[in-house]
Amino acid sequence: MRTLLIGAVAILSLACSGDSEGQPTPPVAAGTALDTATFAGGCFWCVEEAFDEVEGVISTTSGYMGGQTSNPSYEEVSSGGSGHVEVVQVVFDPDIVGYDELLDVFWPNIDPLTRNRQFCDAGPQYRAVIFPAGSDQRQLAESSKAALERSGRFDQPIVTEITPASAFYPAEEYHQDYYQKNPVRYRFYKFTCGRAQRLADLWGPS
What are the tens digits of pLDDT across the range 71-113?
A: 999 999 999 989 999 999 999 999 999 999 999 999 999 999 9
Asked whether residue 29 carries a pLDDT value surpassing 90, the answer given is no
The per-residue pLDDT for 31 is 61
pLDDT at 46 over 90: yes
CB 68 within 8 A of CB 83: yes
Give residue 88's identity as a one-letter amino acid code: V
Q: What pTM, to 2 d.p., does this model score?
A: 0.85
Q: Is 43 a residue of the active site?
A: yes
- 3-state class of 184 per DSSP? helix
Considering the candidates 43, 46, 120, 193, report the single residue annotated as catalytic.
43
Asked if 172 and 74 count as a contact pair (C-beta separation under 8 A), the reply is yes
